[in-house]
Structure 1
Amino acid sequence: MKRKLFSVSLVLVFFILISTVASAEQYTKIGSGAEPAIDDGKVVWTSNGVIYIYDLKTKKETTVNSSAASYPAISGNKLVWHDESSGVPRLTVYDIKTRSRSHVTKDVDNSSIPAICDSRIVWSADSCVYMRDISTSMQIKIAAGNNPDIYANRISYDSYSTEDTPQIYVYDITTKKAIDVSQYGDNMFSHIYGDKVIWSDFYNRLGNIRMYDIITGQQTEVTTGDDKTGYDTGGSTGISGKKIVYLKHDNLANIDSGDLYIYNTYTGKSKQLTSDNTAQTPAISGNVIVWSDSGSICVLNC
């Protein structure tokens, strides 16, 4: 009888282990550092102020020398990051193919975090949003606001405007007009891809992700509910195609880390990808997600 109970216990433990393994997605660690970004099969991140580039196709890592680089962004073969290696805040623009670099010093401050799409860079400084075209060196002020993102001819950002809490706006570069896509809440940290804009609404606790369709004018709650089923998602999000990645925190004492989730805009369903509550700063391009985890840069095909 004891032997049978022991056998049953082993079987139960086996199935528990199998279930645990099956519930965790398989991912690859490609380096050490923080603040990863990804585009077109290339991952970029920082470590001790140095820029690293990893090509997922060739599995080759390249180092770009810098002493104080942070918040890198990538589009094709163009990189941009916040740089204080000279002692003065600036943005460094780097061409992966030619290895040439240039600097943006006008209208840049300590909190300027760049985003890039094709030849256009956006960032904020002193609560104003700026755009620079790398190909023409033309730089303009877009609007009063913060935390901009860019995709094609549209720029998303948050701005107080006439409201008591920040709202999300989308600026059309062609028409030079902006629309308020959030309309209520306490909204920040937008990201834009195609016709979709996502952001975090901090009206309830630490964040509730919302999405707006520019074509239909429809707003969707990506995460809803109470603390356990929807809120406390914070501002760490990313969007590409029909997929949104985000973090959910289970320890409010450490809101910089959380479990990684993916949301399908077509099905309206979320899936948990990690379960150790240590994921940080996720980004997505196509079917590839990158994030930092306890000092490692992780990659997952979803």
Structure 2
Amino acid sequence: MTTGNITGLGHAESSPSIQGDKITWRDDGSVIVYNISTGKEIKIVNASTPAIYGDNIVYVRSKYENGQPADYQTAPYNSLYLYNLITNKEVQLTDYEHATYVFSIYEDRIVWVQKNKNTRLGNISIYDIPTKRVSDISIDGRSGSPDIYGNVVVWTEYQNGSTNVYMRDIAKHKTLKIYSNCIGGKVRSPDIYGNIVMWTEDQNGSTNVYIRDIDKNKTSQIYTNWTGYCLSIYGDRIVWMSGSGKGDNFHSDIYMYNISTNETTRITNNTYAREPAIYDDKIVYIDSRSDPEYREDRNIYLYNLSA
């Protein structure tokens, strides 16, 4: 266990995200944006699944077939939106279609995959905020889970029965396959920060965690038979949630791994914590500790590693 300071920020259903001094999450069909420095928050109604960088927030608006708003992007029609906290202007990035979105934002660029809701396959697109230009990164229709840092975009691509990890350097216009798993395996959710790319692989009934050092052109397996979910990386720190027990004895906690020291630290203790995200020395996560019987009442917490 660490000795950091924990602060409750209010009710939250899911999707916490943190960047700089701002935290976003989804609650009651709206996106909440909380400023750590000022303690102020704003609400964006009829929105879900937020991601934030600086003063730009990306999220999904959804609606049912009759055109009525829906509170989550599992509804039939979804559209991706961009909102700027300084100008208070909202821009619709995509049309409403039968699709779900996975997306990421870094500085002035947004990457997303528009997936067909039946096949769960799609292509990676990138949007440049200043120029409003959309470009396609992948076009084979079998891509997913994009993430971006600087000029580098990473994603998964299904080919010939296996899932591979790809990386594209936007500035150099160069695409590279950085990992290929065995047929029948499943690579999930690549995440990038700096020169480190991280992902998980399901193979033969177990899940393993890998990291790729782009500068050193080296891939390392850091966990075997991993039992966690919801990986997030910042610097040389990786956080995730891991559950234990069954039924009334089930608990889930947040853990952190330090790439430099190879040390694993438990952040929470016998709670119902989930969906961690990390930025600098701060971790945000959802926890239903206030409702141990039913675990339906969820709140968001901020954990400061430096406190």
TM exceeding 0.5: yes
1:123 — aligned with what?
Answer: 112
Q: AA paired with 1:203?
A: Q
Question: 1:132 aligned to 107, 127, 148, which one?
Answer: 127
C-alpha contact 2:163 2:180 (8 A) present in aligned 1: no
> Per residue, is there more strand in 1 or in 2?
2
* Structure 1 residue 152 corresponds to structure 2 residue 150: yes
* Structure 1 residue 260 corresponds to structure 2 residue 257: no
> Which protein has the larger Cα radius of gyration, Structure 1 or Structure 2?
1
2:84 — aligned with what?
Answer: 95
SS in 2 for 1:27: strand
C-alpha contact 1:167 1:188 (8 A) present in aligned 2: no
Distance 1:137 1:166, change over 3 A: same
C-alpha contact 2:17 2:25 (8 A) present in aligned 1: yes
Distance 1:217 1:31, change over 3 A: same
C-alpha contact 2:2 2:265 (8 A) present in aligned 1: no
1:218 — aligned with what?
Answer: 218
2:285 — aligned with what?
Answer: 291
Distance 1:108 1:123, change over 3 A: farther
1:32 — aligned with what?
Answer: 11
Q: AA paired with 2:217?
A: G
* Structure 1 residue 80 corresponds to structure 2 residue 58: yes
Shift of 1:71: 1.0
2:28 — aligned with what?
Answer: 48
Shift of 1:212: 0.5
Question: 2:267 aligned to 264, 269, 273, which one?
Answer: 273
Give the count of matched residue pairs. Answer: 271
Q: AA paired with 1:131?
A: I
Q: AA paired with 2:19?
A: D
2:304 — aligned with what?
Answer: 301
Shift of 1:207: 2.8
Q: AA paired with 1:250?
A: S
1:11 — aligned with what?
Answer: none
Instruction: Out of 176-185 and 258-267, give the one that drifted further.
Output: 176-185
C-alpha contact 1:209 1:233 (8 A) present in aligned 2: no
SS in 2 for 1:31: strand
C-alpha contact 1:198 1:212 (8 A) present in aligned 2: yes
Provide the C-alpha distance between the structure 1 equivalents of 2:11 and 2:286, rounded to a whole number of angstroms: 8
Provide the C-alpha distance between the structure 2 equivalents of 1:43 and 1:111, rounded to a whole number of angstroms: 23
Shift of 1:267: 0.7
Q: AA paired with 1:41?
A: D
Listed as ranges, the matches of 1:51-70 within 5 Å are: 51-64=31-44, 66-67=45-46, 69-70=47-48
SS in 2 for 1:180: strand
C-alpha contact 2:31 2:43 (8 A) present in aligned 1: yes
Shift of 1:125: 1.4
Provide the C-alpha distance between the structure 2 equivalents of 1:202 and 1:124, rounded to a whole number of angstroms: 22
Provide the C-alpha distance between the structure 2 equivalents of 1:188 and 1:95, rounded to a whole number of angstroms: 30
1:113 — aligned with what?
Answer: 102
Q: AA paired with 2:163?
A: P
2:233 — aligned with what?
Answer: 239
Provide the C-alpha distance between the structure 1 equivalents of 2:276 and 2:4, rounded to a whole number of angstroms: 15
Q: TM-score, normalised on structure 2?
A: 0.81
- For structure 2, which runs of at least 5 residues remain unmatched after alignment? 70-76, 116-121, 289-297
Distance 1:218 1:280, change over 3 A: same
SS in 1 for 2:209: strand
Provide the C-alpha distance between the structure 2 equivalents of 1:201 and 1:274, rounded to a whole number of angstroms: 25
> Per residue, is there more helix in 1 or in 2?
1
Aligned-residue Cα RMSD (Å) equals: 2.3
Provide runs of 4+ in structure 1 moved above 4 Å: 22-25, 106-109, 251-254
C-alpha contact 2:61 2:78 (8 A) present in aligned 1: yes
